[in-house]
Chain A
Amino acid sequence: MIEHLPILIPLTLLMGALLTPLAGALRRSFAYPAALVSILAACGLSFLGLHQVLVRGTMRYHLGGWVPPIGIEYVLDPLASFMTVVILTVGALVFVHSRDVVQNELPEKMVPFFSVSLLLLTGFCGIVLTGDLFNLYVFLEISSLAAYALIAVGEKPSPVAAFRYLLVGTIGASFFLLGLGFLYMITGSLNIADVADILPSVVSEPPVVVGLVLIVTGLAIKMALFPMHGWLPDAYTYAPSAGSALIAPIGTKIGAYVLIRILFYLFDPNYSRLQLPLTSIVIWLSIAGILFGSIMAMAQKELKRMLAYSSVAQIGYIGLGIGLANPLGLVGAVLHTLNHAFMKGGLFLVVGNLRTRLGHSTIPLFDQTLRKAMPWTMASYSLMALSMVGIPPTAGFFSKWYLVLAAIEDSNWTAVGMILLSSLLTAVYFFRVLERVYVRNSSSTGESGEGMNPRETMPSDVESMEVNASMLVPTLVIGGGLVVLGLLNTVIVTEVLMRVIPPGL
């Protein structure tokens, strides 16, 4: 059965997506376990896949026994297996977390929600695993459609956000498809490995260049690279908590993943870097995005919106790593994909916790009672915030570390400065929340600092409002996991990411 892993992972999710509504039709309470089982199974399979790839090397799977370039191929290589593990681990944690959240926010739509979520993950895994460009497009659209649907069931303005995302996403996907058309015109193949073989001989043909530019533009839209990020803040803000916890950590990273595939695997890395100024454009856009996202995040009053803008900035980091186009940059980008997936996922889980208990996540309304009421949630939030800022033993530091190293190697001092500066900006907008939670006295007892009895300011009668275990455990797992990931990052880098670097880089 091992050799079927590349197809089994998306297939498990697809079957889950299809069986969940059937189970739900049978009895509503069956739906959630069905969804959970399938994602846990897929998650287990993805870890098995990673293990197999590390032991035996890349696995190629030919659909229906048709050998590429005629048939469709699924490839489980180090990068792909790493990405599936990231996607499905975050997905599984969010699924565990979201039972109560969904019950609370979308009681009517529980069954479709989980079904569509599984479809979303099917799409993501399909994108990661497929070795066929058109197949990739199809999965890109499957995941996007699922994402539109998930976003649209959120707050009141969510359909508008989803509609905009739909329009922009369709433009992006169509650009991607158009680019594929140009490549296909010249190479006559859609298999990534096959096209990569053919490309060097035809690389100077205009259609190839046009195709590459179109593809990169399309992907930039999908990954919300500045200035194509317009759809993102609204979409993430208005989506239901569970939905944004699922889409925000992974959605844009998938675009980045495809960009890595295209620039470094499909094309020769040196071509992407030297012949066309594409990578330097990506670098500058990323830098602008980091700055813009950070500054906008500082101005937000709503926690979710702040996180959304922070995503714009963080995508800049990944884009920067890709754009620098050296091994360290790639390692940094892929590692940041992992770290940011965990951090953002965790942060949105915290938002879910807050919304479940408080009914809002508006920063100016936070005060000290929150710390008493939800100590564990806030503790995880603190860890995640530290990781976002990039304080050393946490995971967030290390991806920045590699990125800074890569930027220095490239002598791109603007990028170095921007990474460092944005750490500070990130600190500003995360500590703003922490300060409210840990320091700010609840508004009534007032500001009169001196002379008041300190004991009165501490609302000792605040009853605990901590969320229940199914929500708390994933939050804590991610919070603690960030430290573990940080300490173990060498293992990840040497064992997995070093094998990710394509030969030409």
Chain B
Amino acid sequence: MIHWGLEVVLLVLLLSTAIIALKVKDLLAAVVTLGVFSFLSALVFVAMGAVDVGFTEAVVGAGVTTVLFVIALYHTTRRSND
């Protein structure tokens, strides 16, 4: 039987960031929230014992992907109807 403690807390946070990222109308805010999401998920990975996945996610998900997202927005538009 597995007892989850920290993970559950982190996951709830994760879920809320995910929902925020999808709900926010300003795309830049959404993307930054997604960065937070990635970072939190990196924490979850570490908490679950997957250290390497954790810091890969931190670098790639929270770092590179967010940068790419921001650049994509910079070139397109920040506005969104939903």
Complex A–B touching at CB under 8 A: no
Residues of B near any A CB (own CB < 8 A): none
